[in-house]
Amino acid sequence: MRFLLIGVILSFILSSFSYAKKGKIKYRYKKYERFDFDALDVEGTNNSPGDLSISPRFKKKFKNKIPLRKNFNQQMKKAVDSVL
């Protein structure tokens, strides 16, 4: 029983040492990076981006619910009469 208890305590102590904090980690990033676009070689064909990204779809045409009129003489006469 004693050996078991000592083994558990010893394993607990050893595991706590392995998870101990090893100081603060400092990350260093580049302050400036230059990218030369002139040296970039791209091969391919010239296609418009619309051909690739937009698929053709059916456009539904709606009927105009307002009737077409040749002239608006009656409405203009009523408007003028209401003003005078």
Q: Write out the two tokens for 29.
A: 């990033």
Residues of the chain with pLDDT under 50: none
pTM across the whole model: 0.24
Both tokens assigned to 47: 């296609």
Residues 53 and 47: their CA atoms lie apart, in Å, by 11
**Distance, CA of 69 to chain centre:** 48
User: Residue 13: its pLDDT value, please?
Assistant: 77
